[in-house]
Amino acid sequence: MSSNLKILVADRQIVRPGDILAIMEQKIMKPMYNPEKHVYIYEDKIVSAVLGLASITDNDVSVIPLEGRYFPKVGDTVIGLVVGVGITNWILDIRAPYKAVLNAGEVIENFSPITTNLRDYIDVGDYIVAKIAVFDRTRDLLLTVKGKGLGKITEGIVIEIEPSRVPRVIGKKGSMLNLLTSKTGCNILVAQNGVVWIRCKDEKSSEIAVKAIRLIESRAHMRGLTEQVRMFLDKELA
Amino acid sequence: MIEKPVLIRDDGLRHDGRKPEDLRPIKMQVGILKNADGSAYVEYGKTKVVAAVYGPREVHPRHLALPDRALIRCRYHMAPFSTSDRKSPAPSRREIELSKVIREALEAVIFSELYPRTSIDIFIEVLQADGGTRTTGLTAASLALADAGIPMRDLIAGVAVGKVDGVLVLDIDEVEDEYGEADMPIGYAASIDEIMLLQLNGVLTPEEFRRAIELAKEGARRIYDQMKKTLHDKYLRIIEK
């Protein structure tokens, strides 16, 4: 993007589709969409394409969406619910517009469809922590469970949050998540598709962790949220 | 036949007391439905419309999916109780046409190429009809899409201009539509200054047409500002709470 931008919005301001965020020096005639920034460029204007919060960094402007479904990206860690078992693969619902496929060879060594029944390993209704291995929009996406911390969920609780709130629950450089884990003593995994896996020592702390995450979800666009959550956790845990 | 009512009174005001360039009182709300990804409720005077948006989601039936962009489906429907005579709930010729023109207006602003092989489904339900249901529906659908977080070039505000008793008037209602000489609904994206929907029923001279477009744009801009405010206020309300 150009070096000379005239930015028209304030940081963390609520913006809507069609709101002009900044004026550039040069002109581009064909509307160009920038998927990472959720803005598009038209003529000499940078315009918001979604309902969200403006984010200004180093003379550049982008929008953090406040609404919207999860859209997959290669390398994302997701938690999927198994919805189907095939001959050589499992079908997972990862709350995206596309089905996710987990091949049996990922899970079972020397897999042969004649000798093994996939239901003995993973069945419908199981939650799986996986990474997106292949996704090019033309075919259903492929998952992998090869990696640290990936695989079937056997303990703890799983809750769903709005995918657009995931960055807030994690916080800047993981600050919010660190706060949650250190205060409650729970092990919390926030998947990119808005599914959260919580493992706690006792029920009380898991209850508090869920409440805290719901608090973050409902107030995602507020300033000083980390402080509020800290106060909430101190009060609840006292 | 019922006698034609007085549409423009002697004092120059319309039958409901509005000036020619006045809109009806407009109410808007977003996020009213829990199960939809995005939703909106819009009132133009006595016309009341609910819109709901689902998606992007998997296409059913599968063979309708497009390989290069999202399939946008739109259903405009009038509730049986929306008119004074019961309307059959089956989609009429008119409703199928309006579904099409509203869909085409929205297709022009949605970045559908971001979501190949998916569908974005828009449902517009007219609860009470008093003229201008397609424009109210378009405004509501546009708000619901924004509420669903779907990337768009701009919001679209719908408004109609009519010619009654030789006078160009903004945002015509049922009576003015029935007894007037012309009805011209438009969908206007104010920020990018583009007209996304334009229909004309009746007769206007070229000069009247130009003036009508200007009047409609002016009215649409006012509605557009209110749409932006409605989306902004949804989050402001949560902050204040």
Q: Are residues A164 and A231 in the same domain?
A: yes
Give residue A57's pLDDT band: very low, low, confident or very high (50, 70, 90): confident
A224 phi, psi to nearest 5 deg: 60, 30
A18 closest CB neighbour out of B150, B155, B232: B155
Give residue A172's pLDDT band: very low, low, confident or very high (50, 70, 90): confident
Residue B114: list chain A partners with CB under 8 A. 33, 35, 71
Q: How far is the first Cα of chain A from the last one, in angstroms, to the nearest whole number?
A: 50
A97 pLDDT higher than 60: yes
Residue A70 lies in a domain: no
B16 pLDDT higher than 50: yes
Spatial distance between the Cα atoms of A9 and A21, rounded to a whole number of angstroms: 6
Picking from B145, B148, B179, the residue whose alpha carbon sits closest to that of residue B164 is B179
Residue A72 lies in a domain: no
The per-residue pLDDT for A110 is 87
The per-residue pLDDT for A26 is 80
Residue A29 lies in a domain: yes
Count of helices and strands (H, E) across chain A:
5, 15
CB pair distance less than 8 Å for B151 and A33: yes
CATH assignment at residue A111: 2.40.50.140
Residue B148: list chain A partners with CB under 8 A. 67-68
Please give the average per-residue pLDDT across B32-48, as a whole number.
Answer: 96
Contact A140, A208 (CB under 8 A): no
Give residue A2's pLDDT band: very low, low, confident or very high (50, 70, 90): very low
Q: Are residues A161 and A231 in the same domain?
A: yes
Q: How many interface pairs between A and B have CB atoms less than 8 angstroms apart?
A: 100
Q: Are residues A38 and A84 in the same domain?
A: no
The per-residue pLDDT for B60 is 93
CB pair distance less than 8 Å for B238 and A40: no
CB pair distance less than 8 Å for A97 and B114: no
Chain B residue whose CA is closest to A138: B67
Residue B149: list chain A partners with CB under 8 A. 50-51, 65-69, 164
How close A51 comes to chain B (CA, Å)?
A: 6
The residue type found at B78 is M
B149 closest CB neighbour out of A18, A164, A222: A164
Question: Which of A111, A130, A152 corresponds to the end of one domain?
Answer: A152
B153 close to A (CB below 8 A): yes
Q: What is the mean pLDDT of chain A?
A: 91
pTM recorded for the entire structure: 0.92
What's chain A's Rg over C-alpha atoms? Answer: 21
For the stretch B52-84, pLDDT in tens is: 999 899 999 999 999 999 999 999 999 999 999
The per-residue pLDDT for B113 is 93
SS3 content of chain B, % helix, strand, coil (to 5): 30, 30, 35
Give the E-state strand segments of A107-234 in sequence order: 127-134, 141-144, 151-152, 157-160, 187-190, 195-199
Residue A41 lies in a domain: yes
According to CATH, what is the number of the domain B26-240?
3.30.230.70
How close A214 comes to chain B (CA, Å)?
A: 14
CATH assignment at residue A34: 2.40.50.100
Chain B residue whose CA is closest to A215: B238
Residue B111: list chain A partners with CB under 8 A. 33, 40, 49
CB pair distance less than 8 Å for B192 and A42: yes
A180 pLDDT higher than 70: yes
Please give the average per-residue pLDDT across B186-194, as a whole number.
Answer: 95
How close B56 comes to chain A (CA, Å)?
A: 6
The per-residue pLDDT for B18 is 95
ipTM of the prediction greater than 0.85, yes or no: yes
Q: How far is the first Cα of chain B from the last one, in angstroms, to the nearest whole number?
A: 55
Residue A1 lies in a domain: no
Spatial distance between the Cα atoms of B100 and B96, rounded to a whole number of angstroms: 6
**Domain count of chain A?**
3
Domain boundaries, position A92: 77-152
The per-residue pLDDT for A59 is 81
Spatial distance between the Cα atoms of B192 and A93, rounded to a whole number of angstroms: 38
Question: Which of A106, A136, A152 corresponds to the end of one domain?
Answer: A152
A67 close to B (CB below 8 A): yes
A18 close to B (CB below 8 A): yes
Min mean pLDDT across A29-33, A177-181, A188-192, B52-56 is at A29-33
B155 closest CB neighbour out of A16, A218, A222: A16
Question: Which of A39, A65, A91 corresponds to the end of one domain?
Answer: A65
B241 pLDDT higher than 70: no
Residue A145 lies in a domain: yes
Residue A90 lies in a domain: yes
Q: Are residues A59 and A43 in the same domain?
A: yes
Q: Are residues A147 and A166 in the same domain?
A: no
How close A121 comes to chain B (CA, Å)?
A: 27
